[in-house]
Structure 1
Amino acid sequence: MAVTLPAAGPAAASPTLGFARAGGAPIPQRLTVDLAASEGPVMLGANGALYGLSDDGVPSDAALAPLKITSISQKPEGGAQHPNGDALSVSKSFFRNGGGEINVMMQDIYAKWPYEDLGIDDYLPKVDKIVKEVSADPNSDRFVYIPFNEPDQIWYQLGVSDQAQYEANRDRFFKDWKTVYERIRAIDPDARIAGPNEAAYHTRLLTDFLAFAKRENVLPQVMTWHELGSGSLRDFQGHYDNYRSVERELGIAPLKINIDEYANRRDLSVPGQLVQWVSMFERNKVYANQAYWDAAGNMDGNVVRSNIPNGGWWFFRWYAGMTGNTVKVTPPQANTIDTLQGLASLDASRRQAQVLLGGSAGDSDVVVQNVSRSLFGRTVTATVAEAAWSGYEGQHATPRVLARTKVQVADDGTVSVPLRGLHKMAAYRIVLTPGGSGTPAAASVPWSASYEAEEAAITGGRVYTQGTVSNANGYAASGTKDVGSLNTATSKVDFTVTVPEAGTYDLAILYGNQSGTPATQKLSVDGGTPVTVTYPSTENWTYRAKKDVSLDLPAGTHTLTLAKGDAEVTLDRVDLTARTAEPAARYEATLADISGRPSYDYTSSAGVGTGALVLRSGDKAVFDVYAPRDGYYTVVSQATAPVRLALHGETVTAAPGRPLRLYLVAGNNRVATTAQQAAVRSLDVSGAGSTAGTLSYEGAAATLAVGAQLVDSAHASAGSYIGWLGNSAASTAEFTVDAPRSGRYVLVVHYAHNDRRDNGHAYNTDIMSRTADITVGTAAPRKVTFKNTWSWDDYWTQGVPVDLKAGSNKVTFGNASAWAPNIDRIELGRVVG
């Protein structure tokens, strides 16, 4: 088989890679997977994040649970370093969604960065308070104390070259380490303590530190340091090997390692970059947390808003889906910056092999060796999918399946999967399952092309270089360039595009908008009448988001013009994709999350090609279903018998092949499937999010009390929103909702707010969430968290499951102790439509 990716425009042409064939064609890179060379159980250690959570509900449960996060790093309760992200506060959502452990960054109790150095005597009472609070928590055994952060640079200056000065600084640090270590253990005898937590790997200090800590009986239970630069992709293996050798020389049993800050801005959210980091950490079985460069609460650039996946989220979802043992992967170039890398797993009990790869453009041959015929048979189904880069704030639909093909296992146990036209910023997943009988349904891959803004015709703008190896902490950009300064009346970018046939095309625009309000551009085709494109706000000009627009184009070559509207917008790239049908995705049951003891049936590779999951009483499969917007979708269970689907607290029976109309919220939806006995092949979801049959109420329809006001706004849906809500128990907004039927509904709140606190950091944007207590009828109030929307004029949605009775229902919003978000309008849709 050969998998050829969708065509790229001229600006996205792949570089020449490898050695040239006769005639000058590049030889494909070769990535080899050896299923017989086990590296040990899949650990999922590299999926963590520093300040990945900001509040209970940010990110949402549906965004957190699928990632199976093993560790996060957060500040102590009440820490002044940031306005949110307190370890105990976020622990509730983290643990209920299957999270592993929480590193408490104890020095983040201080307000300034670098931390104000008030001496160890000032710090010790703070240590006491933190440890007393954490040790009193029912889940105290799942917290790890990190008493010092980057001591090589902060407080102790351990990176100095002068040896005498280093030794003086080192000895002061060691004395304080011992003091704080013993202070923690005096309060919490079972405490796990991590350190020394340097900003980078230093053999000199770690050798001295381990010798001292062993001698004084203050060894950390977890060894931590940071790997933040591009050079870590080259150097980490050497750091790891050196560290383990130091342990052996000192007679110290191997300690658990957590690289509790890794990567830089240009890597975060980019699937092709993340593959490189994750593969080296998983191979060495260390834990690792992505660094916190921007805003808390989005898993360090992988969750859009609170519940919407981007390309990075899907890569980590794939990573979380790996089971069994990891196996040896040999890349074209080991330990080399920005090259094709991968990780792979074999689960003999499920009879599945998975390969994740990315990081380089061009062609690659993935060669899987030692494919056991006793496990897989004489043929396998190879399923190939792509997770593209969609920006930090750009939504990404369910990864597109590029190929489902039955492949013969060679006599030597080899299966080759040729991939052609890889995109450097994308990641790819190959799943191998037993071939069985039948033929998998062919993958439907629409025509698509990409066009870089810097290669277009630019008027009144400037090309900027972003996110290169030499500027690794710059933001990622497609092709490492974007077009900004489009701030004059005549500013525009003309893209020359060529489409193969007349039809409807989806135009995806990667952009940035730091204007502080929704910004517009004028889109025209071949100089025709322009239409307005409105771009929601982003954190800054380079914190990329994605705007989707529909176009009808005749066959042939056209000029697409994006001209300045009411404010400046930066442009990175546009993608054109032919729309061949309504949006649809098929979710393979054998790749779903499971509980219980379901079995795997590969006798037939029909349909999605990966066989069927056999559910019996007590078994459960959970599908992660993407919705582009809030609304109704058609859901079909491809199963041999009826199954029960649970969504938003509602359960409904799905007959085999019979469509259901279900309400999904924008982003990820977890659909749990159970059955008495059924072989489930897939869950098929289609539609664009119909609002037919939903209830809708503008802010003006609410009854407002004590300070809450209706405020005029050109950006609100009906010209006004509810503001000044809350900050008093009496300040409320009450909607009267007329439900046609009783049952479980999803209440969708259209809201905005832009609370933030400037802590004076050079890079962190300390946005804050607001909460509202929502009361339905006589039920108890429910506190709901609403993430910052980047501006007061951008309205996002938050879905809240509620129970309504037939007829009139009162839905009341309030907040007795703080301001609630501004509310534009609400919608309600019954879960089963």
Structure 2
Amino acid sequence: MSTGLAAAVAATALTGLTSPAAAAEPQVLAVDFAERTGDFRGGASGTLYGFGDEGAPTQALVNGAHITNTSQKAPYGTQHPSGDAVKVEDGFFAEHGEDMYIYMQDYYPEWPYNGGRRPGDDRTYNLQDGTYTLGGNGVWDFLEVIEFVTEAVATDSARPQDYVLLPFNEPDGGNWYPDWAGQKDQFLGDWQAVYEKIQEVWARHDLGHARIAGPGDTRWQPERSRDILEFAKANDSLPDIFVWHELGIDNLATYRGHFADYRALEAELGIDPLPINITEYGMLRDMSVPGQLIQWFSMFEDTKVDAQTAYWNYAGNLSDNTARPNGANAGWWMFKWYGDLDGGETVAVTPPTPNGVDTLQGIGAVDEANRRATVLWGGTDSDVSLDLSGLDMAIFGSRVDVEIRENAVTGAEGLADTPPVIAAYDGLDVVNGELRLDVPTYDRYAGYQLIITPSQSRDVEADAAAQPWRDAIEAEDMALTGATVYTQDPQANGGWQFLASGGQDVGSFNQVGSRAEWTVDVPRDGTYRLQVIGGAPGVPGRHALFVDDESSGTIQYAADLALNDNSRWKYRGSAELLVDLTAGSHTLSIRSSADGTTRLPNSDITLDKVALTAVEEGEPTLYPASGFRLEDGASLKWTGSARGGAALRGDDRADLYATAIETGYYDVQVDWASTKASSVEVAVNGAPVAEVTANGAGKWRSTATVHLNEGINEIELRSTDGAVVQSLTTIRDRAADSAAVSVEAEDMTLHGQASVTQLADSTGTNASGNAFAGWIGNGAGNAVEIDRDGFAAAGDYDLTVYYANAETSGQHDYNPQVVDRLLEVQEGTEQVGHAYFRYTYSWNSFSQRTIPVTLSTADEALRLGNANAWAPNIDRVVIAPRLIGAPTTAAR
């Protein structure tokens, strides 16, 4: 099914007419914008161990996903090798972070904690660093752990008042107190002791009241909760935030009942309503899947609680809701859309089944100040009829502009592009505040966003029509030879699996003759990007692409997670390949063999979906002001000739999150207006890059050629003297890539133990030239050096490092204990940049991570290493100036 504008959307005023768009009766999602349900909370964007080390995930991913709360490892914790709260707090609090939770039991390396046994007094702890000697000292061991962890937060954190300390995690499960009848008194006494010790440490540092969360049960436990609340009320030790977990498939139907029971219990006990955090929610099947995530988001937003996605795999990827080191998967975009509602009020949404499992659900919100209304929805295979009412004429007028975007599954590691507009309307009539929109559904796993504004100056229909042509097909719908279609039942295995787009994928692609073919019509001669969503389990692999039975290149896959049967072949990534096609019909054939005789290395790769996108004209992607995040006083303007633009002045800021499917240069085009001589400052990923200027009043189009990184790029817009920005467009400029210098590891100068390894082609590696430099770091002398050939000038650069890191440390029942490796960059003897490099699943599989650097000389070599630990293995490094040439401005 195409995800482009060919998927028509019917829109009518509510006059009783039946839309012709849907082939079957659509499901109705009713949204009443006049019935407000409270300020948008945004708490469901929380994550458990979503952060690994600094920069894993990158700041652009964190900010864009609007993460407001997270639970991380305690200082000195040994449960996991990364995720220390104090080490990641700067990135978390940088923009939207509010509450940093600590799992205090994660001091222990075992799962369940301490072997599942409540500690006694068998150790004596050093309260300075958490080390211990065997032998008791008259103090409960865990109380000593509580003291030194709390002390570390109080003294090492720059923002201890923004921490929430969670002493117990799943105490009703295998963690110390499963027998409530026999262990209730023990737990209650321990709760009191822990509560008082935390407050004692906080008082020691004049920090006031420490926020403590509990009890942290595996599920809603009414008997335990009653006993704990009664005891805590009587002993002045009520938790500041009440927490429990909602994990299973059925919790989508039962959560609201649990929430209501808890609130009723509070009222019965005479306790004022406490904040709630559902500190773990969702199963493997829900992560990275927009149509699943929106069902959870809608429940938690409706009840105005915070909630955190569960930690099923490894730290540092927002619970499987990012792709690659800096990329978005479809789940990330649903987080981003959810965060975009910040600043508005939620409204009444009535789905067909309010408390159902795997059903249509949604969130509606209105931002009166900016005259913007939004609906997010997903979770059904049926087409959806949006029954919209309460559109206040004083806010929206009698004619509105509407844009609808579609966000289809790309796999946990599959790179998602900016979700395309599938329908747009200029000046749609609103009758009595009502509107109906019938929207075709790609599949139940897709998510959708609708934005309504008053009529804008820009032509939203023309902007939508100007999007790059694209088409897609499910792998199971291709012509298959030597391969098998597998159904991925979303309710099988208790939710312990990753879902496939369309509910099916293609596997057993393990014969010489295995192939999957798609006959597709393309609109014009040009270059197209083929993207294949598939799973390469634990090793990189390859397929051959044939076009009309002629060889057209190799599809190179990076390795994907293959920890166990839950992830093997199902934790899907993406591979991209550019191919030139003439206008008309072509048969694209994905094959396991390039010569018909031998299989390509590691070609037994599952196929989920294949997409084709026209990129010949630079794949222009427009980001309208109606979708900007408006910060520090910025607002949408609804008068004059730039209606719907973002008005900026002084410290006002507009943020947007632009996708680069490939690292390289893009013409960043800003459409804006001014009433006098003015300028717009453009910052990318936290660094100022360009300033575009106009010498008087008018409407302007300014362009700067800027280096963008693969994945998500956070772009910030400001204007000291005042401007109204209508939109920003990114246009790929491959010709400009000649300004970048690529240096293979085998051409670098090697120092100390650093050495080059040549990989056999049979490994299926995606290393360029099948070679890399390893044994870098773990001592200042073990490094690689890059001469200043081709970039002999001071200035701002991006260093894109193609690297491998498959290091793990320790054992865990289900979490791969990944280590984020640090790489430091020196110019001569001065450090100019550093970054942590996340897991790549295999030492033969290479990803990319960009480090921004400012160089002050023209001739000092760049030295890459790590004085204290091993650095990642390096395939190559690309050095690119962040800005090429001078920005231009022309009247429009």
TM-score computed with the length of structure 1 as normaliser: 0.92
Shift of the alpha carbon at 1:446?
A: 5.8
Residues 351-750 of structure 1: matches in 2 within 5 Å? Answer: 351-435=371-455, 439-442=459-462, 443-444=464-465, 448-456=470-478, 458-466=480-488, 468-471=490-493, 472-490=495-513, 492-499=514-521, 503=525, 505-516=528-539, 518-529=540-551, 531-540=553-562, 541-551=569-579, 552=581, 555-556=584-585, 558=587, 560-563=589-592, 564-577=599-612, 579=614, 581-603=617-639, 611-641=644-674, 642-647=679-684, 649-655=687-693, 656-675=700-719, 676-687=721-732, 689=734, 690-713=736-759, 715=765, 716-738=767-789, 739-750=791-802
Residue identity in the other structure for 1:802: V
CA distance in 1, matches of 2:176, 2:226: 17
Task: Name the counterpart of 1:792.
Answer: 843
SS at match of 2:491: coil
CA distance in 2, matches of 1:436, 1:98: 29
SS at match of 1:819: coil
Shift of the alpha carbon at 1:482?
A: 2.5
Query: Residues 792 and 500 of structure 1: is their aligned pair in 2 closer, same or farther, counting only changes over 3 Å?
Result: closer
Counterpart among 292, 301, 311 of residue 273 in structure 1: 292
Alpha carbons 1:515, 1:567 under 8 Å: kept: no
Residues 295-374 of structure 1: matches in 2 within 5 Å? Answer: 295-322=314-341, 323-374=343-394
Query: Residues 56 and 467 of structure 1: is their aligned pair in 2 closer, same or farther, counting only changes over 3 Å?
Result: farther
Shift of the alpha carbon at 1:721?
A: 2.3
Shift of the alpha carbon at 1:802?
A: 1.5
CA distance in 2, matches of 1:480, 1:498: 22
SS at match of 1:800: strand
Deviations 1:605-645 (CA, angstroms, capped at 9, x unpaired): 98xxx711121223222222211122111111101143121
Residues 98-137 of structure 1: matches in 2 within 5 Å? Answer: 98-115=96-113, 116=115, 117-120=117-120, 121-136=140-155, 137=157
CA distance in 2, matches of 1:663, 1:696: 14
How many residue pairs match? The answer is 808
Alpha carbons 1:381, 1:407 under 8 Å: kept: yes
Range 302-311 or range 556-565, more displaced: 556-565
Range 774-783 or range 35-44, more displaced: 774-783
CA distance in 2, matches of 1:780, 1:422: 49
Query: Residues 248 and 515 of structure 1: is their aligned pair in 2 closer, same or farther, counting only changes over 3 Å?
Result: closer
Alpha carbons 2:282, 2:310 under 8 Å: kept: yes
Alpha carbons 2:3, 2:472 under 8 Å: kept: no
Counterpart among 37, 45, 62 of residue 39 in structure 1: 37
Query: Residues 177 and 806 of structure 1: is their aligned pair in 2 closer, same or farther, counting only changes over 3 Å?
Result: closer
Alpha carbons 1:379, 1:436 under 8 Å: kept: no
Shift of the alpha carbon at 1:556?
A: 4.4
Query: Residues 515 and 220 of structure 1: is their aligned pair in 2 closer, same or farther, counting only changes over 3 Å?
Result: closer
SS at match of 1:241: helix
Residues 755-774 of structure 1: matches in 2 within 5 Å? Answer: 755-761=807-813, 763-774=814-825
Residue identity in the other structure for 1:114: P
SS at match of 1:538: coil
Shift of the alpha carbon at 1:590?
A: 3.7
Shift of the alpha carbon at 1:57?
A: 0.9
Task: Name the counterpart of 2:160.
Answer: 140
SS at match of 2:286: coil
Return 5+ residue gaps in structure 1 as ranges: 9-19, 159-164
CA distance in 1, matches of 2:779, 2:191: 46
Alpha carbons 1:451, 1:573 under 8 Å: kept: no
CA distance in 2, matches of 1:587, 1:223: 40
SS at match of 1:737: coil
Range 529-538 or range 445-454, more displaced: 445-454
SS at match of 2:181: helix
Query: Residues 601 and 169 of structure 1: is their aligned pair in 2 closer, same or farther, counting only changes over 3 Å?
Result: same
CA distance in 2, matches of 1:299, 1:692: 35
Alpha carbons 2:60, 2:712 under 8 Å: kept: yes
Shift of the alpha carbon at 1:650?
A: 3.4
SS at match of 1:729: coil
CA distance in 2, matches of 1:436, 1:829: 38
Shift of the alpha carbon at 1:141?
A: 1.0
Residue identity in the other structure for 1:775: Q
SS at match of 2:335: helix
Shift of the alpha carbon at 1:245?
A: 0.4
Matched, 1:171 2:223: no
Shift of the alpha carbon at 1:765?
A: 1.6
CA distance in 2, matches of 1:171, 1:409: 65
Range 671-680 or range 113-122, more displaced: 113-122
CA distance in 1, matches of 2:211, 2:50: 21
Deviations 1:361-392 (CA, angstroms, capped at 9, x unpaired): 23211122111111111111111111221111
Query: Residues 456 and 663 of structure 1: is their aligned pair in 2 closer, same or farther, counting only changes over 3 Å?
Result: closer
Query: Residues 529 and 343 of structure 1: is their aligned pair in 2 closer, same or farther, counting only changes over 3 Å?
Result: same
Counterpart among 62, 65, 68 of residue 67 in structure 1: 65
CA distance in 2, matches of 1:68, 1:630: 24
Residue identity in the other structure for 1:259: I
Query: Residues 685 and 722 of structure 1: is their aligned pair in 2 closer, same or farther, counting only changes over 3 Å?
Result: same
CA distance in 1, matches of 2:393, 2:742: 57
Residue identity in the other structure for 2:200: A
Deviations 1:500-541 (CA, angstroms, capped at 9, x unpaired): 65655543211111243x211223345444742211101122
CA distance in 2, matches of 1:378, 1:412: 9
SS at match of 2:291: helix
Return 5+ residue gaps in structure 2 as ranges: 8-17, 121-139, 204-208, 563-568, 593-598, 694-699, 885-892
CA distance in 2, matches of 1:637, 1:557: 37
Deviations 1:784-815 (CA, angstroms, capped at 9, x unpaired): 21112221122222211222346323211121
CA distance in 2, matches of 1:736, 1:24: 61
Deviations 1:328-370 (CA, angstroms, capped at 9, x unpaired): 1111221111111110111111111111111112321112211
Shift of the alpha carbon at 1:253?
A: 0.5
SS at match of 1:303: coil
Query: Residues 783 and 500 of structure 1: is their aligned pair in 2 closer, same or farther, counting only changes over 3 Å?
Result: closer
Alpha carbons 1:156, 1:170 under 8 Å: kept: no
Alpha carbons 2:681, 2:688 under 8 Å: kept: no
Residue identity in the other structure for 1:586: L
Query: Residues 543 and 25 of structure 1: is their aligned pair in 2 closer, same or farther, counting only changes over 3 Å?
Result: closer
Residue identity in the other structure for 2:91: S
The alignment-based identity, stated in percent, is: 34
Shift of the alpha carbon at 1:560?
A: 2.5
CA distance in 1, matches of 2:103, 2:216: 10
CA distance in 2, matches of 1:575, 1:446: 16
TM-score computed with the length of structure 2 as normaliser: 0.86
CA distance in 1, matches of 2:625, 2:584: 39
Query: Residues 613 and 447 of structure 1: is their aligned pair in 2 closer, same or farther, counting only changes over 3 Å?
Result: closer
